[in-house]
Chains A and B, each alone.
Chain A
């Protein structure tokens, strides 16, 4: 039996580009570019000031270097900060959307056609810098649910946006969040009114199409008292040989008794499997504010793409009895590097958090879990359970675990456990002795390893994640 594991290229099937007339800003970043973005979107003056203020702060900040990832310095002047399909006023109906675009999303497997109600998922599709379509808006409006692009929200629900934008991730939070606040172009906005359970899953699909453009979207989700929503996020990008920057900010706000479930299946282009050239730098700030008592936020992520991932979906558990959970599968193969994890900040009484992280590294990749659990002095009876397991496939990859535990209240009950292992020869031998080929055996073992996380995903996402994982691992054993 061969146990040498080596890495062979697997084609990235979303690597195509859509050829259509685009309006793209010249490369570079300065105040004029920010003013131009703001003008393009007819933003109110306070929004422009918000951006300019963020830009000033960003100029004073230093790019963080603490993450366990290596990359060439990013030239922020070599990126185009706005790129959108030409002549594209926001359409009232999908019939008016450019068929070329519809075909692109069709090819990606995203149902933008409202007749295909089977899926029962409302989608906001973001293409480069702008949102091109949001489905099921009318149906949702009947329940009082607002689901639209953030540009529309700025026009139609400015008060809500003004109240909450930057309230969870302040402008000065970190380098990439400040950059995003200055130049974000679009993203999704969700508001679920008091007492409403959103009748369908909401979803955003991000697609980067233009080479040398960056994607800076901003998502804001507000669940009012006793509201409930499940939100899915997916992403792909064409295969270019240059690196592309994706610096998003996601802010979630859960008021009393509200529940938000945020699931991500991330499949950006990870770079050339043989050389590591190209790929997406995924530098994302995601944070939830469990502001209300008994509010609950669940983050579930399956990270398979990106050349570099720098991402820590977090929960600030301010409300008493609030709950934050984080489930993550991070798979790195070839030259990928991931430094990902979560932060659970316990402030309120009786707050609970749970972290389950599964990291799988193959090829010459590097996979790091970095997670922080903070128990503030007033967080009486806080509970945390953390489990982070790593699996290594092949001897050329690395798996690192960096937990940070800071406890300032004695009534806490906190447990952290972690293990690192590889697929055992015994397990493989057993599978093979039953006539199951090596590759299928590895996939089955890895899927089993990740089961705790997949169980948390919505059904259709779970199927996609399982498929994605086996695709990513294909030919990684020989």
Chain B
């Protein structure tokens, strides 16, 4: 695609959605992020809205209706604090409603991104650079339009004493652009839990385009857990973008429980030697849920390691799509990359689509990927039944086991694990009915 293309040609009529984007952009209040917003907007105009017929990554994501809906940014509105349920008893807390911050505690490392870049212009330059690298048009919309992007910045050698818990939620029929930027300096460590929440009763057509942006300097470590529990109709799209410098370590865990029309696109680039990324995912779907886990993992330099494991238990007439590509660039020798997609179909109408892809341009690498789709193992079911456990109970146990193995990783905090176990159980009950 030529980078020379400019805005939509004037003779081409804009859809209400696209026209709304143009207007919303015009109306933005000026802040220190304007150059970044303009760069993102310009790139969005080049890439345009996703084209499911031409772009493999959007083939199964329902975005057809997006261009027909109207577009406007929501007005700021206060929300009752009691509405939020926190997982950590002691944590730095941040909550966003319709893309705007309405509560942030006393965590000194958290501040508006607009303020953060004034003190750190280099960071703005880096973010602008990242904008030019991205090929996911909708994530650019977030960069351009997010009303109040927030930032976590952990200085060199520092460790966040308490985990940071972020809750992102929205009300019905809104467009919202929650954005959270994480920056870890050399040898800094942080533990961040992001919960994307939806209210079952707020049935309406939302469009949420969230962004979690991570940049990790040398030797930094980040545990990032994303829990999506969005049981309402609309378009719930999130992007996580991470760039890791040498010796940096990222553990990302993305869960989608009972998520209605949810897409989580994760772009992780290992840009420094010996960087290591562990990306895990767990989806438990029921009813009409549609969840899309899209992943692009790039090994750009030698000696990096990565591992991905994505599991899905699919009930009802839900659809789960895993679309993951590992790119091993020419110079990335001694890469060790693993990818696994496992899908458990719990009902007659459940659907599982998987595209575990490898694109390898270096020769001295170890790369493997695998995918499985199936039901519970009959031998295991038989064994449990031979011990006097009913078929129903045996199925429930095995399904629980399939999911729980994803939670047994030690990097998940005990509180988070307990909360997840409960949620996983509820979601499984819904999925197996």
On A, residues with C-beta under 8 Å from B are: 66, 375, 377, 390, 392-395, 397-422
The verdict on B354 contacting chain A, using a C-beta distance below 8 Å, is yes
Could you say which residues of chain B place their CB within 8 Å of the CB of A66?
56
The verdict on B372 contacting chain A, using a C-beta distance below 8 Å, is yes
New contact pairs (19) apart from A414-B373, A414-B374, CB-CB < 8 Å: A375-B373, A390-B360, A392-B362, A392-B363, A394-B363, A398-B361, A399-B358, A400-B357, A401-B357, A403-B354, A408-B351, A410-B345, A413-B374, A413-B375, A414-B372, A416-B370, A417-B370, A420-B366, A420-B367
Contact partner of A395 among B333, B352, B374, CB < 8 A?
Answer: B333
Give the residue name and chain of the B residue nearest to A366 (CB): B361
In the complex the two chains form, what is the Cα distance from A410 to B353 in whole Å?
12
Contact partner of B363 among A393, A400, A404, A415, CB < 8 A?
Answer: A393
* Cross-chain contact A422 with B364 (CB below 8 angstroms): yes
Give the residue name and chain of the B residue nearest to A380 (CB): B348
Scoring B346, B349, B356 by chain A CB atoms within 10 A of each residue's CB, the highest score goes to B356
In the complex the two chains form, what is the Cα distance from A126 to B372 in whole Å?
43
Given contacts A418-B369, A419-B367, contact A405 B362 (CB under 8 A): no
Could you say which residues of chain B place their CB within 8 Å of the CB of A404?
353, 355
Total A-B pairs in contact (CB under 8 Å)? 106
The verdict on B350 contacting chain A, using a C-beta distance below 8 Å, is yes
* Cross-chain contact B360 with A410 (CB below 8 angstroms): no
* Cross-chain contact A410 with B350 (CB below 8 angstroms): yes
Contact partner of A415 among B350, B351, B372, CB < 8 A?
Answer: B372
In the complex the two chains form, what is the Cα distance from A421 to B358 in whole Å?
12
Given contacts A412-B345, A414-B372, contact A403 B356 (CB under 8 A): yes
* Cross-chain contact A392 with B368 (CB below 8 angstroms): no
* Cross-chain contact B370 with A410 (CB below 8 angstroms): no
> C-beta contact mask, B359-393 vs A, less than 8 Å → 1, else 0?
11111111111111111000000000000000000
Contact partner of A416 among B56, B347, B350, B371, CB < 8 A?
Answer: B371
* Cross-chain contact A400 with B372 (CB below 8 angstroms): no
What are the 8 tightest A-B residue pairs by CB atom distance, in nearest-first order? A410-B345, A392-B363, A405-B354, A416-B371, A420-B367, A414-B373, A401-B358, A398-B361
Least Cβ–Cβ distance between A423 and chain B, in angstroms: 9
* Cross-chain contact B373 with A403 (CB below 8 angstroms): no
Least Cβ–Cβ distance between A137 and chain B, in angstroms: 47
Least Cβ–Cβ distance between A311 and chain B, in angstroms: 19
Contact partner of A407 among B351, B361, B363, B364, CB < 8 A?
Answer: B351
Least Cβ–Cβ distance between A6 and chain B, in angstroms: 12
* Cross-chain contact B357 with A410 (CB below 8 angstroms): no
Give the residue name and chain of the A residue nearest to B358 (CB): A401
* Cross-chain contact B356 with A400 (CB below 8 angstroms): no
Could you say which residues of chain A place their CB within 8 Å of the CB of B418?
none
Could you say which residues of chain A place their CB within 8 Å of the CB of B373?
375, 405, 407, 412, 414
In the complex the two chains form, what is the Cα distance from A397 to B353 in whole Å?
30
Contact partner of B375 among A410, A415, A420, CB < 8 A?
Answer: A410
Could you say which residues of chain A place their CB within 8 Å of the CB of B353?
404-407
* Cross-chain contact A420 with B358 (CB below 8 angstroms): yes
In the complex the two chains form, what is the Cα distance from A393 to B364 in whole Å?
9
In the complex the two chains form, what is the Cα distance from A422 to B56 in whole Å?
29
Given contacts A418-B369, A420-B368, contact A398 B359 (CB under 8 A): yes
The verdict on B330 contacting chain A, using a C-beta distance below 8 Å, is yes
* Cross-chain contact B357 with A422 (CB below 8 angstroms): no
Scoring B352, B358, B372 by chain A CB atoms within 10 A of each residue's CB, the highest score goes to B358
In the complex the two chains form, what is the Cα distance from A407 to B354 in whole Å?
9
* Cross-chain contact B345 with A397 (CB below 8 angstroms): no
Could you say which residues of chain A place their CB within 8 Å of the CB of B363?
392-395, 397, 422
Could you say which residues of chain A place their CB within 8 Å of the CB of B374?
412-414
In the complex the two chains form, what is the Cα distance from A392 to B330 in whole Å?
12
Give the residue name and chain of the A residue nearest to B60 (CB): A406
Listed A/B pairs (14) with beta-carbon separation below 8 Å:
A395-B362, A397-B363, A399-B358, A401-B357, A401-B358, A405-B355, A405-B373, A407-B351, A410-B346, A416-B370, A417-B369, A418-B356, A420-B366, A422-B363
Give the residue name and chain of the A residue nearest to B339 (CB): A418
Least Cβ–Cβ distance between B38 and chain A, in angstroms: 32
